Structure 1
């Protein structure tokens, strides 16, 4: 029989000798059974105790957490990445805790808002002022308009400025920009006060050197950096005329039409004033659409709108041989996208000075 040996005594009796390892094995199995019997309930009691005490301690620290222990090793789940360090400190301070793994959702970083400087343009032409650009608040917009209305008359001030709270107000005195327009006077022709990147640039034609100096003095009182490119009694350089034309508001049309709105016609009249003040300048009128509609429809619409602007300028006294028109449809977007904001930027007519 396995595990047993036989020995024969001289008397004839047969004695069996058992393997000495068998009793040891039995003892080990018995001891293991005792460990399972007593240790498992004890471990569960320890886990429950650590769980309860940890939850209470975290709650006192203002942390709502899910707590679980396996033996003396804990897992704590918190609701915010900002709570991780505090939860770890509190949990490790509990008597009996060996290690803890604190888990939290990834910290969400709010993207920084891109902020741009304010940008303002004032077009002064034959007793009228057109205001364009973007300022941070409605009050900033009012400062400029209120500064020019008493001199030019409210009916001669066209306010096309927009408000964007993400814009950064600089040290420029916005009411002072209005004072620059006042210094230019009602006789100024296609003169522009342009605030871009914290610099005020003056372009256009004025009647005298005295007016030019007054405008520069007013500009320096309003801004730290001034460029005076005003021309006395003569036509401006092509790049100056381009700056003046870019300063104009968007030419607006009736929806899906080549018919100018009243505002759109007013902008074309301003363009005509600039061209009359600079008789040697030739301009290409370029129409662009947004992505709404078919490619073919947009191409035709852009061509018709550019042609409408050309015909309107001719009717206002600009020689036809100084003007050309073309349409590009949706092929040259200024910004990417097809939402309302992108469409508003891409739907435009541009005046391009021909060098």
Structure 2
């Protein structure tokens, strides 16, 4: 502010105007104009993008909630499977800058394993019976085991049946399988009663046509609406494929842990194999060892070879000619099922008897 005096002695004060004030007023006014223009314009852009995005998604069969702040969108879809497609479609709408696609977390549906039919094999050999296979329930296992024990005596029955609830039941009279074994009789060598998927197959060699007919009649009674295949032969050796069926019916040959030493159960199975081979003197067999995935590949290879050789030597000690037998090991290279859990290991750890044609 400046003080001024004229010639008459009158004085007054002159205030100097701040040059920034007009500029500030102009800026505020301009901002107000921009704000007044931008709000409805932005809302117009957001509404336009929202509408066009909804149309694009709806046309693609996607029901979604859409909103925009400026050119940045948020899209909420009902399924994780629609997420990627919704993102691509939204970004394809002209004017969209970015988009956040939201979806509920994807729920992994457990894989449902197909149910398998029950499978049961009865190996009848000189008055002794070995039960193998899988049934749906403990009650089913008891029906078979109790019927066979009643016919042959509990001390003559080796029960290796397992229970798996994933197996399907059918209308077969499971207790009636004991009657089929009884019809084969205690003199039958290496006879097999095989129930798989409602088909009962009889294989092996029997002493007479009467035994063959009685076994077939008992099988038809047990099968009910199922099928019976009578492949029993009278007074002669079984065909190679029949012998293979008999050998497959044997339980798993067990060994001491990480060893080629047979357990008592393992030796009993090898003795059953020897009975089958004695009843079929023309049959030659390859004994093949397999391991699970536990341990190194090199160790498993050696272990499988040693186990197969142990089985061969045991068969020879039981009277089977060495020139009818050969052995080899495959280690872990030929798993029967995939996986390394206890169940898979139990299946993959095995010795197989392969009939040579």
1:261 and 2:263 are equivalent in the alignment: yes
Equivalence for 1:348: 350
Equivalence for 2:212: 212
* Structure 2 Cα separation of the partners of residues 216 and 230 of structure 1: 9
CA contact (8 A) 2:274 2:320 kept: yes
Taking structure 1 as reference, are residues 107 and 252 closer, same or farther at Cα in structure 2, changes over 3 Å only? closer
* Structure 1 Cα separation of the partners of residues 177 and 159 of structure 2: 14
Q: Give every structure 1 segment of 4 or more consecutive aligned residues whose post-TM-superposition deviation is greater than 3 Å.
A: 102-111
Equivalence for 2:135: 135
Structure 1 residue corresponding to 2:326, chosen from 324, 327, 332: 324
* Structure 1 Cα separation of the partners of residues 172 and 130 of structure 2: 19
Equivalence for 1:289: 291
CA contact (8 A) 1:284 1:353 kept: yes
* Residue correspondence of structure 1 range 272-311 to structure 2 within 5 A: 272-311=274-313
* Residue correspondence of structure 1 range 24-39 to structure 2 within 5 A: none
Equivalence for 1:18: none
SS state at 2:175 partner = helix
CA displacement, residues 78-107 of structure 1 (integer Å, 9 cap, x when unaligned):
x999xxxxxxxxxxxxxxxxxxxx975556
CA displacement, residues 73-132 of structure 1 (integer Å, 9 cap, x when unaligned):
xx9x9x999xxxxxxxxxxxxxxxxxxxx9755565443332100000000000000000
CA displacement, residues 26-61 of structure 1 (integer Å, 9 cap, x when unaligned):
xxx99xx9xxxxxxxxxxxxxxxxxxxxxxxxxxxx
Q: TM-score, normalised by structure 2?
A: 0.71
* Structure 2 Cα separation of the partners of residues 258 and 110 of structure 1: 39
Superposed displacement of residue 145, structure 1: 0.6
* Structure 1 Cα separation of the partners of residues 147 and 203 of structure 2: 20
* Structure 2 Cα separation of the partners of residues 303 and 103 of structure 1: 55
Equivalence for 1:37: none
Structure 2 residue corresponding to 1:241, chosen from 237, 240, 243: 243
* Structure 2 Cα separation of the partners of residues 350 and 166 of structure 1: 25
CA contact (8 A) 1:181 1:215 kept: yes
Taking structure 1 as reference, are residues 133 and 235 closer, same or farther at Cα in structure 2, changes over 3 Å only? same
Superposed displacement of residue 197, structure 1: 2.2
Taking structure 1 as reference, are residues 109 and 310 closer, same or farther at Cα in structure 2, changes over 3 Å only? closer
Q: What is the root-mean-square deviation of aligned Cα atoms in Å?
A: 3.2
Structure 1: runs of 5+ lacking an equivalent: 1-28, 34-69, 82-101
* Structure 2 Cα separation of the partners of residues 181 and 288 of structure 1: 31
CA contact (8 A) 2:277 2:320 kept: yes
CA contact (8 A) 1:276 1:318 kept: yes
Greater CA deviation, 191-200 or 124-133? 191-200
* Residue correspondence of structure 1 range 43-62 to structure 2 within 5 A: none
Q: TM-score, normalised by structure 1?
A: 0.71
* Residue correspondence of structure 1 range 163-174 to structure 2 within 5 A: 163-174=163-174
Number of aligned pairs? 283
Equivalence for 1:50: none
Taking structure 1 as reference, are residues 163 and 304 closer, same or farther at Cα in structure 2, changes over 3 Å only? same
Taking structure 1 as reference, are residues 145 and 310 closer, same or farther at Cα in structure 2, changes over 3 Å only? same
* Structure 1 Cα separation of the partners of residues 257 and 134 of structure 2: 24
Taking structure 1 as reference, are residues 180 and 313 closer, same or farther at Cα in structure 2, changes over 3 Å only? same
SS state at 2:260 partner = coil
SS state at 1:174 partner = coil
CA contact (8 A) 1:80 1:107 kept: no
* Structure 1 Cα separation of the partners of residues 355 and 187 of structure 2: 24
Equivalence for 1:93: none
CA contact (8 A) 1:125 1:270 kept: yes
Equivalence for 1:313: 315
* Structure 2 Cα separation of the partners of residues 199 and 327 of structure 1: 33
